Amino acid sequence: MNDVDIRKKIDSIVCDAKSNLASIMHSNVSKRDLALKTIADLLIDNKNQLLEENRKDIESAKSMGLPDPMIERLTLDEKTIEGMVESIGTIINLKDPLNRVLEERKLKNGVFLKKISVPIGVIGIIYESRPNVTVDCAALCIKSGNACILKGGKEALHSNRFLSGLIKKGCAMSSGLNENVVQFIDITDREAIKYLLQKNDFIDLIIPRGGEGLIKFIVENSKIPVIKQYKGICHVYVDDKADIDKAIKICINAKVQRPSVCNAIECIVVHEKAAKEFLPVLKEKFDELGVEIRGCKRTADFIDCVSATEKDWDSEFLDLTVAVRIVGDLDEAIGFINEHGTKHSEAIISENEENTEKFFSEIDAACLYSNTSTRFTDGFEFDMGAEIGISTDKIHARGPMGLKELTTYKYLLKSNGLIR
């Protein structure tokens, strides 16, 4: 496809989304839930064809020599499809995030003010690989009354195209919503994303889900507000007042349970007074679990370990590797974490309330934990019922984002003829 055709296609997609936005934006929740129910049914009814489309993606991924973990993420089976259906069911059962009364008061000037939650409008979601993201994101947007424009990775093109077809059909079948409130971009060229990001008159928000490269590209090219989900370089700080058993248990959980996710830890910061008791036990456990420790110079005084390089303090390993840094006091720990963290999730292990409060107050991050694993930073764990991602931004939404974070608000003001 040449650039002119790409632009024409994108123009028509964003225009279709915006001009049909009203049909979902002002719909009541029973209509939106009915659309979701229909989509879930269509997924079950069209399972075989979906698996067939998915097979095309897998074959082409294999022929392109994509690495196994990527192919694994791409692959659908009966179970993952059931998972999608279940996920839609969960979203149906969530409370309507719209028309919540956020404030209600009479102003000094006599006007009666009411602030209510409303949809944001048209949301563009740019993501990579997993086809279930197509269903999850569309379902969250539908439930929250937003139109969405989906742009998935090229590896999952056949699966995503088929899935978005089902979603559009589900919207159209359930009377009232228009199929155009869900749009799918099947152009694989990056030029398409670049041009899409200029459409700030049509799209209200961009949510990217993917690697650092994709997100940086989007931030550099977007005229539309972006809520970023950057990497998580998360720390556990083991205080001199730590309960060492808790510290060990939490470090193991936060590093080992699922090392490939953003809320896993990459670095353990240890108070010098805790090092002697803590590090040898950690070393023993991590050896058993196959975790490589990359320690600072002082760490080597206590345990055998690989020497950490400067780069290690800023690395999201996403595997069984952990950096260890010894600090002289809590202030040094806070300074180190504020410098190398990505404002995602940070934990302190301490029995001292004052130290915990200082850590909570002085570290700039979305989620701060006391004697608790960083792995809890997650929309489901936060009882949001669903998650569109975890924001490392500070504007609009921070940390896990569910339905509420897909809304904005408006003010409704009434009086009997008041003027200024």
Residues that bind a second copy (CB under 8 A): 22, 25-26, 105, 107-109, 111, 113, 118, 120-121, 200, 204-205, 219-220, 223, 225-227, 243, 245-246, 249-250, 252-254, 257, 338, 356, 360-362, 364-373, 375-376, 381-383, 393-396, 398-399, 408-420
User: Judged by CB, which is closer to a second copy: 157, or 365?
Assistant: 365
Long-range contacts of 106-113 (CB under 8 A, 24+ apart): 109/418, 109/420, 110/415, 110/418, 111/413, 111/414, 111/415, 111/418, 112/413, 112/414, 112/415, 113/411, 113/412, 113/413
Q: What's the CA gap between 35 and 41, in Å, rounded? A: 10
10 close to 197: Cβ distance less than 8 angstroms: no
Give the Cβ contact number of residue 315 at 10 Å.
17
Least distance to a second copy, CB of residue 5, Å: 25
User: Judged by CB, which is closer to a second copy: 220, or 310?
Assistant: 220
Q: What's the CA gap between 50 and 53, in Å, rounded? A: 5
Give the Cβ contact number of residue 273 at 10 Å.
15
219 close to 198: Cβ distance less than 8 angstroms: no
Tokens representing 174 are 């359930």
User: Judged by CB, which is closer to a second copy: 299, or 407?
Assistant: 407
Amino acid code (one letter) for 348: I
User: Judged by CB, which is closer to a second copy: 44, or 107?
Assistant: 107
As beta bridge partners, residue 234 has 265
Least distance to a second copy, CB of residue 197, Å: 11
**Structural element, H or E, at residue 106:** strand 101-106
Least distance to a second copy, CB of residue 199, Å: 12
Amino acid code (one letter) for 168: K
Q: What's the CA gap between 33 and 177, in Å, rounded? A: 11
User: Judged by CB, which is closer to a second copy: 166, or 367?
Assistant: 367
Select from 206, 78, 209, 79 the least CA-distant residue to 134. 209
Least distance to a second copy, CB of residue 121, Å: 6
User: Judged by CB, which is closer to a second copy: 26, or 62?
Assistant: 26
Amino acid code (one letter) for 128: E
Give the Cβ contact number of residue 112 at 10 Å.
14
Dihedral pair phi/psi, residue 98, rounded to 5°: -95, 160
Least distance to a second copy, CB of residue 394, Å: 4
User: Judged by CB, which is closer to a second copy: 30, or 109?
Assistant: 109
Give the Cβ contact number of residue 154 at 10 Å.
17
Least distance to a second copy, CB of residue 25, Å: 7
List Cβ neighbours of 15 (8 Å cut-off, separation of 6 or more).
Answer: 202
Q: What is the DSSP letter of 100?
A: -
407 close to 118: Cβ distance less than 8 angstroms: yes
As beta bridge partners, residue 294 has 306, 323
Least distance to a second copy, CB of residue 186, Å: 27
User: Judged by CB, which is closer to a second copy: 295, or 379?
Assistant: 379
